[in-house]
Amino acid sequence: MSGRKPKVLEDVAGRNRSSWRQRCASSIAELQSQLDRIDKNSGGLPSGDKAIADMARKHLGAAREAVEESRGLGAVWMGSAVDRAWPNIHKAEEAVLRLSPEDELCWWGATVLAKAEQHLGESDPRRALLAEHLENNDHRLHKDFKDLAVRTLQAANECADAERAKVRTFRNFLLASVLALATLAMLAFVWGLVSPETIAEKMCFYPNSIRTCPAGSGTAYVPSANDVLLVEFVGMCAAALAGAISLRNIQGTSTPYMVPMALMLLRLPAGALSAFIGILLIRGGFIPGLTNLDSGTQILAWAAFFGIAQESITRLIDQQGNRVLENVRSSMRGFDAEPEAGRAEK
């Protein structure tokens, strides 16, 4: 059978989509089916409710467009698709709650309360009022408290969107740092290529008046950009090894921003630059008792040491990354730690 597939089928049958797009698409399909069911079961919504339903469908349409939006570097960097999809899905979710009939409304209370506890914290007054009402009403949401539930859900959704935006900002900071450090490491190599006596020679030592460089030694050896490249490469490899070991402390994430991967990438140029600067420090006599290295192997060994040493800095960034990720809460997360929104009010 040819022709365009129904909207719900399009939402759930998408191919070649990233995980966040799949999650958005399934949420869109679920909300669309709920809107259609409410409209059908009610035998026609009143004019006021019909306006809410029409606006909800517009929100779902905007979310669909965001899910299918092009995936260029600019869109990935700005996060425009994510920031467009989830807020529109949340608005449609709030509309479904507003339109839910009384016989279905009673079970919305636990859902809204759970989301409020995840994103708003125990000190939020809306969450507290909703929790008190549910406790006194056999955990059922009364129609007189529907507006409170909608406003609580709206606040929780806004916090969830803000949490996601913070992750994107942190990811962008990491990628900008990776680019900056990689550029500096590349500039050092290019400088060594253009003017070996200025940069590459600084990677060499002179034990017993014999020139010893990372890539070669001897009175006839001429320093080159290969010496800089070799030092940076060894430092980068050492940093990668240290980063692989530190993976045990990095948690995964359901956000679309791949922060753990960015944290790993940061180590590579950081290790290269650490090795380069570390050899310069030894050459300059900055480290007491260590002024001359006897062989190219020793130089590379120290380059590896400095490449690993960058872990003391990047580990602090890992900790900040974990804190950012821990504040992004979903239905699969527990309530062991209070959300940032709740902590900020204390």
Single out the residue of 225, 129, 154 nearest to residue 185, CA to CA. 225
Query: 213: helix, coil or strand?
Result: strand
- What is the spatial distance between Cα 183 and Cα 176, in angstroms, rounded to a whole number? 10
Does the residue 261 lie in any domain? yes
Same domain, 80 and 217: no
Query: 216: helix, coil or strand?
Result: strand
- What is the spatial distance between Cα 198 and Cα 225, in angstroms, rounded to a whole number? 10
Give residue 100's region: left, alpha or beta (phi > 0; psi -120 to 50).
beta
Query: Token digits for 292?
Result: 């001359």
Which whole-number Å values give the CA distances from 246 to 182, 257, 262, in the listed order? 21, 20, 14
pLDDT score, position 2 = 44
Does the residue 2 lie in any domain? no
Count CB atoms within 10 A of the CB of residue 177.
Answer: 17
pLDDT score, position 322 = 76
Which whole-number Å values give the CA distances from 280 to 76, 143, 181, in the listed order? 38, 72, 17
pLDDT score, position 323 = 79
Q: H or E segment at 212?
A: strand 212-213
pLDDT score, position 75 = 60
- What is the spatial distance between Cα 159 and Cα 117, in angstroms, rounded to a whole number? 11
- What is the spatial distance between Cα 122 and Cα 129, in angstroms, rounded to a whole number? 11
Q: Which range marks the domain in which residue 246 is found?
A: 168-344
Q: H or E segment at 126?
A: helix 125-136
Same domain, 72 and 147: yes
Choose one of 108, 139, 165: the last residue of a domain. 165
Same domain, 187 and 154: no
The structural domain count of the chain equals 2
Choose one of 115, 133, 165: the last residue of a domain. 165
Same domain, 73 and 177: no
Same domain, 159 and 174: no
Same domain, 328 and 179: yes
pLDDT score, position 261 = 84
pLDDT score, position 119 = 85
pLDDT score, position 1 = 40
Same domain, 133 and 277: no
DSSP conformation letters of 138-207: TT---GGGHHHHHHHHHHHHHHHHHHHHHHHHHHHHHHHHHHHHHHHHHHHHHHHHH-TTTTGGGG-B-G
Choose one of 139, 165, 191: the last residue of a domain. 165
- Cite the DSSP H helix spans in 195-310: 225-246, 259-283, 296-309
Query: Token digits for 131?
Result: 């929790």
- What is the spatial distance between Cα 236 and Cα 273, in angstroms, rounded to a whole number? 8
Same domain, 54 and 125: yes
- Is-contact 186 271, C-beta < 8 A? no
How many Cα atoms occupy the beta-carbon half-sphere of 302 within 13 Å? Answer: 23
Does the residue 323 lie in any domain? yes
Does the residue 214 lie in any domain? yes
pLDDT score, position 71 = 67
Does the residue 1 lie in any domain? no
Same domain, 120 and 234: no
Same domain, 128 and 102: yes
- What is the spatial distance between Cα 232 and Cα 307, in angstroms, rounded to a whole number? 8
- What is the spatial distance between Cα 48 and Cα 59, in angstroms, rounded to a whole number? 17
Does the residue 176 lie in any domain? yes
- DSSP state for residue 5 in the 8-state scheme: P
Predicted confidence pLDDT, tens digits, the chain (346 residues): 444 445 554 555 555 567 778 888 888 988 998 888 888 876 677 778 888 988 999 999 999 888 887 666 666 666 678 888 889 999 999 999 988 888 888 888 888 898 888 888 778 899 899 889 888 888 888 888 889 999 999 999 999 888 888 888 888 889 999 999 999 999 999 999 998 888 889 999 888 888 899 988 888 888 999 999 999 999 999 999 988 887 766 666 656 677 888 888 999 999 999 999 999 999 888 877 777 788 889 999 999 999 999 988 888 888 888 777 777 665 444 444 555 544 444 4
Q: What's the first-to-final CA gap in the chain, in angstroms?
A: 60
Same domain, 269 and 204: yes
- What is the spatial distance between Cα 109 and Cα 136, in angstroms, rounded to a whole number? 12
Same domain, 239 and 297: yes
